[in-house]
Every structure is written in C-alpha cells, then in structure tokens.
Chains A and B, each alone.
Chain A
Amino acid sequence: MDDDMDLYLSRCLKNATARIQPPARGKERLFRAIIAPRWRSARRLVGSPQPPREFRPSDQVVYLPGNLMQSSFTLSLAWPVHIGTLISVNR
C-alpha cells in the first residue's frame, strides 16, 4: 500500500507543478539585479550619463542640463539643481 501512495503522491506533485511555468525573463531580471547597482556606483564615480542599454533601469530617466542624469530614486542632493529646470519623473 505504501508503494501505491508513494507513486500517487510523486505523480500528483510532479504533474501539478509541471504545468506551472517559471517566469520567462527571470534570468534577465537576475542579471539586472546584479548589474544595475554596479552601474549606479560607477556613474557616481565617473559621471557617465548613459548606462548600457540592455541594463538600463526600468524607471524613467530625466536628463538635466549639462548632460547630468537623474533617476527618480537616486537624486543626488550634492549636484546643483535649478528650480524650474527640474522635470518631475513618474515611476
């Protein structure tokens, strides 16, 4: 009887989960999670305005005068910002 139960449970679990697919772009999301923080750190050091296209954060990006770039969640208070030229960013 235990063999039948084993077979049943194993088949049930495998059949049920085989039909549920993992997310299709999981690997891209994983790489983004690793690359994006590194790019932001590098940008703060060298002031590079453009990230690699394929690893650009998904939030909208605002370009300020002087080719400086701000994202909605990494606004640097150390950089001078002129009121009236700052464009609000919608996430």
Chain B
Amino acid sequence: MDLVDQDVVFQLKQGSLDALGLLYDRHQRMVFRTALVITGDPDAAADLVQDVFLRLYRFADHIDPGRPLEPWLYRMTVNLSYTWMKRNRRWLRPLEDLAEWLTGGRQSPHEVVEMQDDWDRVQRAVSNLPFPQRVVIVLYYLNDLSLQDISEILEVPVGTVKSRLHYGRQALRKSLEGLMEGESLPGFDYKGS
C-alpha cells in the first residue's frame, strides 16, 4: 500500500533519503511547472526544484507531518521564485533556448516551433503581470487551487487573492486577445465582459 505524504514526511524527519526520493517523485513535476510559469525560465525552474527539495530535506524538522505537504511546497516554490526574479530581473527566455526542453527532442521541427509559439504566447502574457497577480494566476489556473488554499499558501486574506485574480485575469484577457486576433475558441467570446 502506498504511503501517504504524512507518513513519508515522518520518515523524512528521521533523515531518510528514500523518503525524500519518494516525495520528489510525487511532487517535482508540480513544483517545476509552477516555477516555470512564474519565472518563464526552464533552467531556473530546474534549479528551483532542487532548492525546494533541498530545503524540504534540511528543514524537515520544522514541518508538521499532521498537515498536508503541498501548501508548504507551493509556498517554498513561490518564495524562491520571487527571490530568483528579484536577483535576475529576466522576464523572458530566448525562444531558441527552449527547444531542448520540449519533450526531449522527440517532436518534428514543425511541432517544436508550434509548441514554442504556444509557450511564448502564454508566457509573454503571464510574465507581463505584476508578481503578486502572476502567482495567483499560476496557482489558480495551473494548479487548480481554491481561493482559500491560495490564501493560506500566500498568507494573505481571501479578499486579496480575489482582487489579484480579478485584475490578473483582466490583464491576461487583453494580452491574449491581442496575440490571438483572428483565432477563436469554441464558446469563447473575446468581446465578453
């Protein structure tokens, strides 16, 4: 029977590297994707994954095994991403650097270009958001977290989360409408409120 995170965290507190490996396998993809969209930089996201799990191992004593682990991981990812953004102040990654990260090179050149366009379109829109709005957008739309969950992770009131989501969504609508002029999705009215 698979161990739940709480049981694994208990083993992690005893210094178990196997427990760390198990938690890494379960959560590294979520951490990577979150860091990726916040920073827009795949190399930075890979480094941030390392930092998050190193801190998980080093500060295991401070983690309450009776509480879910994911909020801690999200909070650490957001905080480390913020530190990286402040230090680097790089919002966009050159397109040609992204190719090596796309599906390990198993796609055709045409598919790789198409993927780069999709990623570039989305990432430009998200990276133009102020950091607080960007984080809420990522946690809400990429990770499907509730407003209450986001409020607990970021340690801000739910009303603040709602406000950031509202203004972030407005800004994204404008950015993506402009980028996708001429295209349409079934059921999506670009001129809607």
Footprint of B on A, CB under 8 Å?
1-2, 4-10, 12-17, 19-24, 26-27, 29-31, 33-35
Contact = CB atoms under 8 A, between A and B. Distances in A.
A22 B119 contact: no
Contacts of B50: 26, 29-30, 33
A30 B24 contact: yes
B37 A30 contact: no
A7 B186 CA distance: 11
A31 B19 CA distance: 12
A19 B54 contact: no
A89 B68 CA distance: 47
B185 interface: yes
B10 to A, nearest CB: 19
B49 interface: yes
Given A9-B141, A10-B144, 10 more contacts: A4-B189, A13-B142, A17-B119, A19-B118, A21-B101, A26-B28, A26-B50, A27-B21, A31-B20, A33-B50
B102 A19 contact: yes
Main secondary structure of the interface of A (DSSP, over half): helix
B65 interface: no
Contacts of B45: 22
B169 interface: yes
B69 interface: no
B192 A30 contact: no
Interface residues on B, range: 35 or more
Contacts of A23: 46, 49
B78 interface: no
Contact of A22 (B20, B49, B189): B49
Contacts of B42: 20
A2 B17 CA distance: 45
24 contacts: A1-B189, A2-B169, A5-B192, A10-B142, A12-B122, A13-B122, A13-B126, A16-B118, A17-B119, A19-B102, A19-B115, A20-B98, A21-B104, A22-B29, A23-B46, A27-B24, A27-B25, A27-B28, A29-B50, A30-B50, A30-B53, A31-B17, A31-B20, A34-B20
Contacts of B103: 19, 21
Contacts of B142: 10, 13-14, 17
B74 interface: no
Interface string B41-80: 0100110011001100100000000000000000000000
B114 to A, nearest CB: 10
